[in-house]
Amino acid sequence: MPAGSEGAGLTVPPLPRTWRPLGPRVVGVMVTIALIVVVAVGWLSFDDETRGKFTAFQIGTLIFFGLLYLALMYGITRSRAVAYDDRLVVVNGYRRHEYAWPQIVAARLPPGAPWVTLDLADGETAAVLGIQGSDGQRARTAVRELKALVAAASA
């Protein structure tokens, strides 16, 4: 599929094209920074006697939950969709899916939907967390570009 072709009156973006959600990435980074600051200030506000009462197991538990939080946040913020000439790669958290263009029948983002949904040729649907409805105009532009790519592939 040529990068400059037209599909159903829509302009096909140059490929490869990557879409990433802005809102969840910003919130993820800001909440992580705020959480680190709150925990650090809380720990430093304890006197030596109070800090000394923490056991190695308790500290290990706090570190474990902190690392678990970071792993979950990283999974959320790494979501993306990448369009290539021959396929669409969708990364939702830690899962990666590849769809050949003929597999994709339609891409939809109904009003109020949290993210784009792909209708697949086998009757299944697939979520694309890389294009979040909460991103407003940015999401609508991404859906138009994705629809143009799907239409160009089916032409």
43-90 pLDDT, tens digit each: 999 999 999 999 999 999 999 999 999 999 999 889 999 999 999 999
Whether 10 has a pLDDT exceeding 60, the answer reads yes
Q: Across-strand partners of 104?
A: 120
Q: At residue 139, does pLDDT exceed 90?
A: yes
Query: Domain range spanning residue 52?
Result: 25-76
Judge if 44 and 83 occupy the same domain: no
**Would residue 1 count as lying in a domain?**
no
Secondary structure of residue 99 in the 3-state scheme: strand
Please give the single-letter amino acid code of residue 76. Answer: I
| Mean model confidence pLDDT for the chain | 92
Which amino acid is it at 75?
A: G
Residue whose token pair is 């009462």: 53
Q: What pLDDT shows up at residue 5?
A: 41
Judgement on whether residues 46 and 102 belong to the same structural domain of the protein: no
pTM above 0.85, yes or no: no
Domain end (from 76, 91, 112): 76
Does the residue 89 lie in any domain?
yes
Q: How many domains does the chain have?
A: 2
Distance from the first to the final alpha carbon of the chain = 9
Same domain for 13 and 39, yes or no, is no
Tell me, yes or no, whether 83 and 141 share the same domain: yes
As given in the structure block, the two tokens for residue 28 are: 């993820």
120: CATH: 2.30.29
